[in-house]
Amino acid sequence: MVQKDIKAILENLEEEKEKHSKKEDNKVFDPSESPTLSLYEEVNSAIVVGCLLKGEDSSEVEADLKELGSLLFTLGIKVCGSFIQKVEKFSSKSLIGTGKIQEILKEALDKKVGMIVFDKELSPVQTRYLEDNLKLRVLDRTGIILEIFAKHAGTNQAKTQVELSQLEYMLPRMSGAWTHFQRQQGGVNLRGMGEKQIEIDRRRARDRIAKLKKQLVQFDKEKSIQKKSRKDELKVALVGYTNSGKTTLMNALTNEHLMAKDILFATLDTSVRVIDPKTRPKILLSDTVGFIKNLPHSLIESFKSTLQEVRDADLLLHVVDISSSNFKEQMEITNKVLEEIGATEIPVIYVFNKIDLIEDDPFLPKIMAKSYPKSVCTSATDQSLAHRVRETIYEFFTNDMITQKIRVNLKEQKILSLIYRLCMILGSECSEDGSCIYEIRTTKKSYQKIKPFIEEV
């Protein structure tokens, strides 16, 4: 990871602050000027630590650690060791017992790793205590997810959203980070200055948070203008756990070449494409950020406007990687996030993906199809199977469609263009009096829009 150290970040914040104090406040802020916020320098190996509470299933903790390993891999960090600590009760100061901390320290020294990552949310106090005792960088899952989001944010909106979450995460932890800096500088006499500096930096961070929030409101406004222009189209949103194959499916259904990668959170921004330009109304498919276990709440909050596409959809395609051993848990987590963003009223079709990878379990697709009648099994990497999803989408909307004969006066150009935009024309017959009888097929909702202007025959 190429990241700036804490000193650079703070200097950046200082510059940033100066720039903004000179600018007029109502000027739109440009996120490309924002500092990359990262508390952590270049690290390429880590030890991961999971906690097993009494009564918890150890295989679940193991699977979580494996997932944490994939998250780290996404950042280019190799896992060199892992610990699972049985815990009766978490310590508010050190999370786990001091004996275990010593054991981890020994392994870290042996293997020369640069970082310890806990698969458990750490409080700022715990982070500070562990960093002081392990003399290494200590992160939790949230910190790692935030790092990945920061690395992959492409658009100004995503960058703003991630920076906001990072700052909110960093704010209470600032003193810990500052201690790092002090240690690098050495010398006890720096302490007083450091503490004063922390206060200044906290204030800067708070100012910046306010600014970023303002900017997000601005993005929201722009989005709602875009939304208005799409109100007549049928909207389908791909949702699902990260790496389940959403982007691959999007590419297969729209012949696009968006980045689909075997890394977590390759997609952060929403992209919207037309499935088939010939259908009326048009069907738009949107691909967006995936979900994961323990997704930091601040991220969900700040990504709410990106996830607006999900809330506005007429249909959700919930993509599930059934080759994953914990796909059921992944489905639950996705459903929980959907609940959190207020998208539970929207009809869902489950897309059980990656069936090419479960050849050793040929009954699984059949079992899933039986348990979930509104579902389709597919393999997004296989065009000949991906078309099943397209047909399922068509079928869903066709069920809600009506066929009707209508009469329109050809002079009514505006009404004609509305009909052509919203309806499939199945047949037409024009008479000499300047009127035409069309046989149309469209959704009930779209039909209501044209009904006041036509005569049914």
Ligand X SMILES: Nc1nc2c(ncn2[C@@H]2O[C@H](COP(=O)(O)OP(=O)(O)O)[C@@H](O)[C@H]2O)c(=O)[nH]1
Alpha helix (H) residue ranges in 23-80: 58-74
78 neighbors 45 (Cβ within 8 angstroms): yes
- Residue 195 in 3-state DSSP? helix
**Residue 255 DSSP one-character state:** T
Interface with ligand X includes 387 (CB under 6 A)? no
Residues at the interface with Mg ion (CB under 5 A): 246-247, 266-267
Smallest gap from residue 34 Cβ to ligand X (A): 25
Q: Which of 8, 357, 364, 416 binds ligand X (CB under 6 A)?
A: 357
Closest CA to 438 of 450, 426, 451: 426
Amino acid at 295: L
- Total interface residues for ligand X by CB under 6 A: 21
Interface with ligand X includes 85 (CB under 6 A)? no
Smallest gap from residue 69 Cβ to ligand X (A): 16
Smallest gap from residue 315 Cβ to ligand X (A): 17
Q: Is 202 exposed, middle or buried (0-12, 13-18, 19+ CB in 10 A)?
A: middle
Tell me whether residue 129 or residue 241 sits nearer to ligand X (CB atom): 241
Interface with ligand X includes 338 (CB under 6 A)? no
CA atoms within 13 A on the CB side of 282: 18
Residue 326, binding choice from Mg ion, ligand X, none, Cβ under 5 to 8 Å by partner class: none
Return d(Cα 392, Cα 244) in angstroms, integer. Answer: 19
Tell me whether residue 85 or residue 247 sits nearer to Mg ion (CB atom): 247
Q: How far is CA 33 from CA 30, 160, 213, 433, 438, in A?
A: 6, 11, 16, 64, 56
Residue 443, binding choice from ligand X, Mg ion, none, Cβ under 5 to 8 Å by partner class: none
Cis peptide before 452 (omega within 30 of 0): no
- Residue 455 in 3-state DSSP? strand
Return d(Cα 313, Cα 226) in angstroms, integer. Answer: 14
Smallest gap from residue 298 Cβ to ligand X (A): 21
Return d(Cα 175, Cα 159) in angstroms, integer. Answer: 24
Q: Is 236 exposed, middle or buried (0-12, 13-18, 19+ CB in 10 A)?
A: buried
Tell me whether residue 63 or residue 357 sits nearer to ligand X (CB atom): 357
> Per CB under 6 A, which region of 106-114, 255-263, 359-367, 439-447 contacts ligand X?
255-263
270 neighbors 313 (Cβ within 8 angstroms): no
Q: Which of 74, 288, 375, 379 binds ligand X (CB under 6 A)?
A: 379
Q: Is 45 exposed, middle or buried (0-12, 13-18, 19+ CB in 10 A)?
A: middle
Residue 227, binding choice from ligand X, Mg ion, none, Cβ under 5 to 8 Å by partner class: none
Tell me whether residue 160 or residue 242 sits nearer to Mg ion (CB atom): 242
**Residue 145 DSSP one-character state:** H
Interface with ligand X includes 354 (CB under 6 A)? yes
Interface with ligand X includes 158 (CB under 6 A)? no
Q: Which of 15, 132, 256, 356 binds ligand X (CB under 6 A)?
A: 356
Which residue's Cβ has the minimum distance to ligand X?
A: 245
Tell me whether residue 80 or residue 357 sits nearer to ligand X (CB atom): 357
Residue 248, binding choice from Mg ion, ligand X, none, Cβ under 5 to 8 Å by partner class: ligand X
Tell me whether residue 262 or residue 345 sits nearer to ligand X (CB atom): 262
Site track 256-285 with ligand X (rule: CB under 6 A), x = hit: ----xxx---xx------------------
Tell me whether residue 37 or residue 358 sits nearer to ligand X (CB atom): 358
Return d(Cα 283, Cα 281) in angstroms, integer. Answer: 6
Residue 375, binding choice from Mg ion, ligand X, none, Cβ under 5 to 8 Å by partner class: none
157 neighbors 306 (Cβ within 8 angstroms): yes
Q: Which of residues 113-152 bind ligand X (CB under 6 A)?
A: none
* Interacting residue ranges for ligand X, rule: CB under 6 A: 240, 242-248, 260-262, 266-267, 290, 353-354, 356-357, 379-381
